Each structure stands twice: as structure tokens, then as C-alpha cells.
Structure 1
Amino acid sequence: MLGELGEIAQAELTPYITVMNVYLMYENVSDNLAIGLACPDPSDTSSSVRKQVVHDFNESMMARLAEPIPSAAKRIDLRGLAPLADGISLFRQSLAEDEHRLLSRAYLREREPKGGVRVLEQDVIAPLQANIESAAEVARTVLPLPCGELVRAGLIARYAAVNRLLSDDERDLEENLRLGTDSILVYPTLAYYLAVVGDALGLAPGFSRRSGDLPLQEGLRAAALIVRLLNDVGSLLLEIDDEPLAEVLRSVTESSRQERSARVALIAEASQRGNLFTRIAKDIEFGEFNVCLDGVLSSGDPVAAVERFCERLHDVRRSYRGAVKTLKAASATINACTAGQAPLGDLLSRFVGFHQRMYAESHRSTAGEYAVAQARGQAAG
């Protein structure tokens, strides 16, 4: 993502990168707890409990981040959630259950923690507590720097958006796009790296103000929206020309008239289209939030549900094209304001370009979704 910028200031950036990577590692735990909650499987008896745990965790996270200066000495205690979280499997509640079990067996061959494998698999509270403290450390690290306040605001918006997505209220596409943009963590992550790279390269503290708050924030939100749509829909389906897309959607619509549900029709189409529907298929398989699938899979009318899916797909493709234009303009503005020092706007473009390439690949490959592919590969081995 950093390209030449990272080479210029590698030593200065390493401590900052470590802080963010630790947070993102623990963020996987809370993120994984929400797998399946967008469209719960009736046989999943833990879904209602996990929904409550995730909701309460998010509320605690927002309270911690809302402190004027998050203090290392003032921590939120999550032990009250322990009775509710008891019995949740961190291994099963992931994209890589088999990999987690293999790693835990290897660990237990070397040492035997008190409580054995149960501690590794079912101690939900400890990693959630670490998740909150590592997020507070991210906010605290960059608070004095340019874009620092944007990082904290973006983090709080992420957890607020997830709680809104967990609600049973109906939402239109516009709200889903807004919540999806906030919940994907792109905004605070990019704001963090703009802050730390700018600081490491010795840019004037006011560079974010010189680029203008509006262009900077528009660029961050455009990047976040693009990555949300790439994550949910995939590069190929977003960028395919209108004429071949029309043929594909006619085929999906025809399948909906023959299949018992929209889920079956979409999976059937995905199996015949290579990587075109890979992100749609992945979110159907794991029951994850998807801007095109919200309310579609639960419909009892497969034809109407698929028609709704097709309409949303057309809408999000327009949103994608608009966001790409906004990002290009914002990146140019940021580059112009740091001319002769470092093209910081390129950081946003490189970040998005990475995801455009990744989400063109199958979610079953390491290039397209490493966790799923790794788990399947280990299981096969």
C-alpha cells in the first residue's frame, strides 16, 4: 500500500504499523463473532447470543474511544459478558475453523495452558478486551497528528454502523451503503496511515487542512465505499460491461423461476460464471452482510427477490463508478498539497487498487480470500 513512501520512512513507520496490525489482528475476533448474523441459519442456536455479545462489545468499544484522550490506565471491564459468551467457539466462529484446530493442537503439544483447548477455543472475553485496548492505542497514537481525530471518529463510526446493521429494522439501499462504508474500517485505517506517513516524512502539521477537510474526507469515504462494494460484489461484477451483464442477469432471473429460493438461484448461477459471482457466493455461504443481498435471501418469492437483487446491482454499479471518480479527484488534490514532499494521495489509490485486484479472484483462493482458502487447504491436507 505504501510503495515508495514506505521505503522512504521504513524505520520511522515500523512502530506505527505494529500498533495498527495488533489492533487488526484482534479485530478479527469481534468481526468473526458476527459471521452469519446477517442471515442467521435456523439451526444456529448461538446466533441470538452472539448478536447480544457483539452489540454490547460495540457499545463498550465506543465508550472507550469516546474518551477525550483514551488513557491506558482507564480500561473497560468486559467480564460481565462472560456468562453470556460462555460456550461460543472462536474456532467455529471463523472462516478457518480447521486451521484454528490444527494450530491449537500444535500449541498444546508444546505446552498445556490451564483449561486446555477450552481456553483457546472459548475464552471470548480476553481477545475482545484486547481488541478494545488495541483500538484505544491506535487512537491515542495518532491523536496529536494530522488526521488523528479522523481516525478516532472513523473507528467510532465503524462500531456504531455494525450495531445498526445488527438491528432488525428495514433499511433502504442508501442507508446500507452508508453503513457498509462506515463498517468496513477503510476510513480510519487510511486516515491513520496518512497521519503517520505524513509525520514520518516531516510534512507540516497542517497538511490535512491545506488539502481541505472536505476533499480529504471525501477521498477517504470514496475509498471506503469502493472497498465495501468490491468486498460485497467483486471487481468483475462491478466492472463488467452493461451488455454482457444484461445476459447474466437474464439467466439469473430465469433460474429464479425454476428454483425454490433466490439463494439456490444465485448459487447455481455462481457455479457457472467462474469468479464473476465469487463475492456474492462467499457471503451467501457464510451469512455475511452484503449490500446486494440484504432482505433478498429471506424472501419467500424467489422471482421478486432476484429482481430486487438485480435492481440493487445496477444501483451499486453506478455508486461504484461515482466513487472511483471522487477518489481520483481527491487523490490529485492531496498530491497537489504535498507536492515536492510525498504523493500521499497515491496511498489511497494504491490501497483501492490492491482490493480491486484481490476481489477479482475466487474467494476460495489465497489471492482472493486467504482465510477461506487456507482453511480448505488444511482440511484437504
Structure 2
Amino acid sequence: MRSSSAQRGEAVDVTRQALLARLDRFLPDPEYREFFAWALSAKNPDRDLFTRIIALTQLGNLTAELLAGLSDAAEWPILLRHAVPVNLYQIFEVVSDNLGIGLAVPGARPEVRDLLLDFDTVATDDLRHPSSRPVTELLAPLRARCDRISGFEQSLTAEHQRKITDRYRADRGLADAPAALEYSVWCGLVANLVSGRDVLAAIADTAGERAVRTATIERYTAVDRTVRHLDRTRAELLGTGSKAILVTATLGYFATVFGEMSGTDRGYLAALRDGSLMASFETAAVLVRLQNDIGTALLHMTCTERADLFASVRRRHDRNAGASTLQILARAADEPPLNRFRKDLAHNEFNICLSALHTAEDAAEGFRILIDDLDYFARRYARLRRELEQQFAELERRLRDRRGIELARRFVDFHEHLYSHRYDTLAGDYAI
């Protein structure tokens, strides 16, 4: 069952209202908090744009797509409320994710790299050893460094953020926009940890909490491996990359909602204990990583079609002698099959298929490496798609409440469709 526009709108609105209600907890800086509240309100003529660039719109779409038809009308609002903590965490997880922009080349931007690593250390310690210590206190040692980094420039949406800030300044009659609006990284990182704590609090004392906590810790430790460029083989790159996104934790959270909080399912508890439930979600995470980095079109091409595509790219875009593979790809990045490469090339972000190209001796070698890697990853994708369906079919035989598995299946399908589009359009601008 596909979600209706009414359900998508309701999911967006519920998430927006929940965010507004929590701003005092999430955002410690009063100037930034006041701006955020204004930007989410009807006073902002660009409210729709703001909700889109903070990923709220697409998260609402995803929520409605995942939950449509999984409940009766009476339970729908309850499921929406369950989705709120995850959605708010995803909104502020983007802040730490954005610190990875520009770090695809080893040694690049050491001040941002070290800040991200130090933040991940704090986040991991807080997850491993939960306490009631205020997040502002935990992150206080990082504030001075955060305040030197533009949150606008360390993002994919600097132009839109400046436009909305100018609107705010004009609406409030300010000569200049407060510096806190642009240099808001510390505030966003506080919100990241607070909202992450909220996710685990929402499933506290359940059997699933430990698995979700473990998967969330792995998100931060995997980002560290990526930023430190510790992985060398394709299998390592893919394995770490699949843990550096919140897919496993998110699916584990919803499985807990259906398997425990909506009624105890003994089959779910048994599958959680023997590891088969979380193993299926880990497979889903690998698939979403491949979708995110490579894109739907390239994954579904045949080997011959991919070889022909890149031969054509070289003929049309290799204009100077000595150009590297990455330079040629950047010139060709508007071609639809290269939608996902376009984002990572433009912002120097990590991509499992592009990292090896930085050391290629010339374009010919680079394209050989790229095509071989794509063939390998596409084969993995096709095989894992089949394996995931087998995993889901086995789980469905064991579970009384199968809604968590159907939600996970929809999750993979949603992202496969999403990543067939350009990242800078509404149809394709959300990445989990």
C-alpha cells in the first residue's frame, strides 16, 4: 500500500510540531533557537524550503511510506508518535555527517577532521556509559573549535541557508544576521546527542534496546574508520560504509516497536536473541549504502552497459591530456546515471567507488579500476537483494507480527527509488 499525500503531510506536520516542542532541550543557544523556531513557522515565507533542507520533508515522506497500511486508523497516530524520536535524531545527525564533507582525501581539512573524531569519541562514550550528565557539559571542550566552522559552508545547502537567514534578518529588522546562525555547529552537535539519547529512551527496558544501542555505537566508530582511511579492500569499504549510516539502528528501533511495544511477539524475541533479525537489517544497510554511493541506474546496468557508458563519458568529456578520472567524472556529473557520484565529487565526500581513484596513475587506469569496482558492487547488490528476501521470508515464518519486516522491505525499496534521482532535488535529497 502506497502512502497518501494526506499521510505524508501529516507525518511532516507531526515531526515539525514535535521538533518545535523540543527546541529548548535541543538547542542551547537562544539566538539560534529563536531563528530555528521562526524558520519552522508560518512567518517564514520559505518554510517549505527550510523543512526540506533539514531533511524533515523527506523524513515525513519516508515515515508515511513505511507505515502506510500497517495499522488501522486508530493506531496510525500512535505509530507516528513512535517515529518522531528517530526522525528528530536523523535531522540532527546530519550536522555531524556534514563534518565529513571535504574529507575524502587523506589529510584534508585537519581541523574539521579532528573535531569530527573528537565528537565521535564523546558520542560513543555517552552511548556505552549512559549518564544524566548534560550534553552541553560533555561537549563544552569542543565549543571553541566548533565556533570557527561555518555550518553553512560545511553543508550541501549553503545558498539556501543564506537565503533563509537573510529573510529572517529582514523580518526582524536586523542590520546583520547574528553570527550564531551561521556558526551553529556546536549547537547542532548538542542536538545530535540529545536526540540520540531520546531514541534509546523511547525503547528503554526493552529487549531490543541493546541491539539498537550497539548499532548506533557502530555508526560513530565506523565514521571514525572512514575518516581515518583505515579500510583498503572493497569488502572493508562496504562493510564499514554500511555501519556508518543509521539503517540497522533505525530498523531495529521499529522492530522493537512492533515486536514488543505493540504487543509481545515470541518469534521476534527469539529472532532477536539468535541474531537473525539484526542480521537481516545489516543486509538492508549494505544495500542502502550501495544505493547511496552508486545510484540505482548504475547498479541495475549490465557489465556491458556500464563499460559502454564510461567509454562514452571518456570520448565526450576527456578534453585535456593528463586529466584524471575524477576530473573527467566531474565534467560528466550531470549525466543521469552518475547522479550519486555528482554529489560526492562536488563536495569531496567519501564514496566506496571513488576513494581508490585518488591514487590512479592516469585516467585509463582509473576507469579500469572504477568499472571493475562497479561490476563487483553490482554483483554484490544483486546477490544481497536475493539474500535479503530469503532472510525476510524466514523471519516472516517465525513472527506473529510481520509488520517490522514489511517496514524494512519498504525501507530498502524507498531508498532504491530515492537514489535514482539527483541529490539536489526534492525527489532525491535525503540520505539516511
Same fold (TM over 0.5): yes
Are positions 1:353 and 2:419 aligned together?
no
Question: For residues 322 and 160 of structure 1, what CA distance do their matches in structure 2 show?
Answer: 27
Match of 2:68 in 1: 3
Deviations 1:46-88 (A, max 9, x none): x211111111000000000002xx3444545212112222321
Match of 2:28 in 1: none
Question: For residues 247 and 89 of structure 1, what CA distance do their matches in structure 2 show?
Answer: 42
Which aligned pairs between 1:266-285 and structure 2 lie closer than 5 A?
266-271=329-334, 274-285=335-346
Post-superposition offset of 1:299: 3.6
Post-superposition offset of 1:293: 0.6
Question: For residues 297 and 338 of structure 1, what CA distance do their matches in structure 2 show?
Answer: 47
Higher mean C-alpha displacement, 101-110 vs 203-212: 203-212
Instruction: Letter of the 2:307 partner, please give it.
Output: A
Q: Are the equivalent residues in 2 in contact too, given 1:13–1:197 (CA < 8 A)?
A: no
Match of 2:8 in 1: none
Higher mean C-alpha displacement, 51-60 vs 192-201: 192-201
Q: Are the equivalent residues in 2 in contact too, given 1:82–1:125 (CA < 8 A)?
A: yes
Match of 1:58 in 2: 120
Question: For residues 126 and 356 of structure 1, what CA distance do their matches in structure 2 show?
Answer: 32
Question: For residues 268 and 202 of structure 1, what CA distance do their matches in structure 2 show?
Answer: 54
User: Unpaired runs of 5+ in structure 1?
Assistant: 372-381
Question: For residues 192 and 112 of structure 1, what CA distance do their matches in structure 2 show?
Answer: 44
Higher mean C-alpha displacement, 138-147 vs 282-291: 138-147
Are positions 1:89 and 2:150 aligned together?
yes
Q: How many residues align?
A: 362
Q: Are the equivalent residues in 2 in contact too, given 1:330–1:345 (CA < 8 A)?
A: no
Which aligned pairs between 1:28-107 and structure 2 lie closer than 5 A?
28-39=94-105, 47-67=109-129, 70-73=130-133, 75=135, 77-107=138-168
Post-superposition offset of 1:97: 0.7
Higher mean C-alpha displacement, 252-261 vs 319-328: 252-261
Query: What secondary structure, in the 3-state scheme, does the structure 1 residue paired with 2:425 have?
Result: coil
Post-superposition offset of 1:137: 1.8
**Aligned mate of 2:90, from 21, 24, 29:** 24
Q: Are the equivalent residues in 2 in contact too, given 1:335–1:343 (CA < 8 A)?
A: no
Instruction: Letter of the 2:340 partner, please give it.
Output: R
Instruction: Letter of the 1:136 partner, please give it.
Output: R
Question: For residues 215 and 327 of structure 2, what CA distance do their matches in structure 1 show?
Answer: 37
Q: Once superposed, what is the RMSD of the aligned Cα atoms?
A: 2.7
User: Unpaired runs of 5+ in structure 2?
Assistant: 1-65
Post-superposition offset of 1:349: 0.8
Which aligned pairs between 1:1-381 and structure 2 lie closer than 5 A?
1-5=66-70, 7=72, 9-39=75-105, 47-67=109-129, 70-73=130-133, 75=135, 77-111=138-172, 116-169=177-230, 171-204=232-265, 207-210=268-271, 213-252=274-313, 258=321, 260-271=323-334, 274-339=335-400, 341-369=401-429
Match of 1:374 in 2: none
Post-superposition offset of 1:40: 7.4
Question: For residues 96 and 72 of structure 2, what CA distance do their matches in structure 1 show?
Answer: 33
Question: For residues 405 and 193 of structure 2, what CA distance do their matches in structure 1 show?
Answer: 30
Question: For residues 112 and 57 of structure 1, what CA distance do their matches in structure 2 show?
Answer: 36
Question: For residues 340 and 294 of structure 2, what CA distance do their matches in structure 1 show?
Answer: 5
Higher mean C-alpha displacement, 308-317 vs 78-87: 78-87
